Structure 1
Amino acid sequence: MTDAVWWKSSFSDGGQQCVEVADVRGTHRGIAVRDSKHPAGPALLFDADQFTRFTQFAAGFGA
Structure 2
Amino acid sequence: MSKSIQQIFITEYKVQRRRLAFAEAPRQRKYRLHHDPISAIQALVNEHTEILTILESQALSYQLDN
TM-score (norm 1): 0.33
Q: Which has the higher helix share?
A: 2
Higher relative contact order (CA 8 A, sep 6+): 1
Normalized per residue, which structure has more strand?
1
TM-score normalised to structure 2 length? 0.32
Larger Rg: 2
